[in-house]
Amino acid sequence: MKITCKNLWGLFLFSMMVLTYSCTSTIKWDKVNVDPLTNAVTFKKNNEKVSGTVAKGEKKGLYEEIVVEDGTIVYEKKYKYGKLILQVDYRIRQTTNYNDDGTVGSVVYKTVGNQDSLQIHYYANGNPRLKVDNAKRESTRYYTNGGPEETVFKTMDNQDSVKINYDEKGVITQYATFNQKTLQDTIKYLADDGTLSSIKIYKDKNPVYAAIYFKGGKIPSSETIWGKDGKSVKKKYNSQRQLLESTTYTANDIPLKSYEYTNGKQTKVTVFDDKGDVYSVNGQRIFPVMEGVQLIAYKTGFYHLYDFDRYLWVPIVMMKWKNVSGATIEESIELVGTFLEGEEEFNEKSVYLHSKYSDNPMTSGLVRQEALISGTGYTSVSALPHVNIKCNIYVNKKLYTTFKISSQQLYSNRF
């Protein structure tokens, strides 16, 4: 038989077709054996190594197959209703999960011992969402724009060692270190220019020190130091590091005693009671408003009020208050009257018995008169004996007393 180049070329093409068919044709799962230890794939009939695609079958829309080369599994693929949802590349120990739209959802790399070495999860736009590198003991969360949001470094026993937070521009905003030996955690908050903005230090999860810094990150504007009993001392400074104020607090953050300074000299000492209210200033007793003022006279009724083009009979409470504290009252005293008809709110009015912004100080023994006049009333005087109106009186938002409004007709809002 005479063999020409044309014969050789035809023979080559035929051989390639046979080879391609043998490699790409789908092999049924029940025709092969998979070694449970080595994962080697061989034909059941002759124990020869398999090369090609082996279909595991389809169940409820889920289809699985493996791609084998010379008896070795190269790929494992899973499809759901015809869409690839998972692919395992055994050559580089990589598992890729796909979203419904075909984009990559996550990629996981395994070690020889089948432990996760590297995980990368993605947003729908393709940017990384989370990266966990177990080899470096490092994990990073990302913003949708692809920039880092938080990076955490772990110790050998998987405890946080360092945590770094970023803003969306990639600038570090927080840098935290965790010392497992000393049980001391230090969190530094950074300004936009990278300088120190504030710092917090914890010992065994309990705060021991905190500070806020002026611009530049070198001089603190305030410091807080905690003791083992939970009590704290908070200090305030000016930009020259001069002490302005120092206040001691209970473990429940209630002030106990405060010192104020001017040019390095102590100018004011304030003592607080167990509720945190001012007890004395520079040794002088300060009475709370509820104790410092006393209602010495009152009158209720319906005031004859001209309202635009008509007269109304409106509920009124007239009161006389006296400063009985023995000292001058400088803080504001607000009186609020809530008028109720039965249990339903009828109207509400407020006045200042004393305003620290506009009134002269309320000296000891001074009597002041104020009236709370409802903005809602009755057009007929005959209705007054039959209505049921009362008024709750609040002093600086604390209920002081309640008055029942009498049916008395009043033509003046003063005693």
Domains (range + CATH), the chain? 25-91 (no CATH), 289-410 (2.60.40.10)
328, with CB counted inside 10 A (0-12, 13-18, 19+), is: middle
pLDDT of residue 1: 42
- Contacts of 213 by beta carbon, 8 Å cutoff, 6+ apart: 195, 196, 197, 198, 199, 219, 220, 221
Q: Please say if the pLDDT value at position 20 is more than 80.
A: no
Contact 140, 148 (CB under 8 A): yes
Residues making up the chain, counted from first to last? 415
Contact 98, 108 (CB under 8 A): no
Distance of CA 146 to the CA centre of its chain: 23
Q: Please say if the pLDDT value at position 86 is more than 80.
A: yes
Tokens of 54: 């082996």
- What SS3 class is residue 200? strand
Per-residue pLDDT band at 263 (split at 50, 70, 90)? very high
Per-residue pLDDT band at 161 (split at 50, 70, 90)? very high
Taking Cα atoms as reference points, which of 287, 353, 357, 365 lies closest to residue 319? 353
Angle at the Cα of 41 from the Cα atoms of 36 and 42, rounded to 5 degrees: 120
pLDDT of residue 288: 66
Taking Cα atoms as reference points, which of 150, 151, 144, 148 lies closest to residue 126? 144
Q: Please say if the pLDDT value at position 287 is more than 70.
A: no
pLDDT of residue 372: 97
Helices (H) and strands (E) in the chain, counts: 2, 33
Residue 13 phi, psi (nearest 5): -65, -40
Residue 127 phi, psi (nearest 5): -75, 150
pLDDT in tens, 116-129: 899 999 999 999 99
Contact 183, 201 (CB under 8 A): no
Q: Please say if the pLDDT value at position 284 is more than 80.
A: no
Whose tokens are 């009043």? That residue is 410
Q: What is the dihedral sign for C-alpha 353, 356, 359, 365?
A: positive
Whose tokens are 């400074």? That residue is 237
Per-residue pLDDT band at 8 (split at 50, 70, 90)? very low
Which helix (H) or strand (E) segment holds residue 13: the answer is helix 5-24
Read off the pLDDT of each residue in 43-49 and give the average, rounded to a whole number: 95
- Identify residue 99 by its one-letter amino acid code: N
How many Å apart are CA 111 and CA 107, to the nearest integer?
Answer: 14
Contact 54, 68 (CB under 8 A): yes
How many Å apart are CA 110 and CA 88, to the nearest integer?
Answer: 10
Contact 336, 393 (CB under 8 A): yes
Whose tokens are 């002759």? That residue is 46
Q: Where are the alpha helices (DSSP H) in 140-245?
A: none
Distance of CA 94 to the CA centre of its chain: 36
How many Å apart are CA 103 and CA 106, to the nearest integer?
Answer: 9
Q: Where are the alpha helices (DSSP H) in 65-153?
A: none
Q: What is the mean pLDDT of the chain?
A: 90
How many Å apart are CA 162 and CA 157, to the nearest integer?
Answer: 14
**Structure pTM?**
0.59
Residue 23 phi, psi (nearest 5): -90, -30
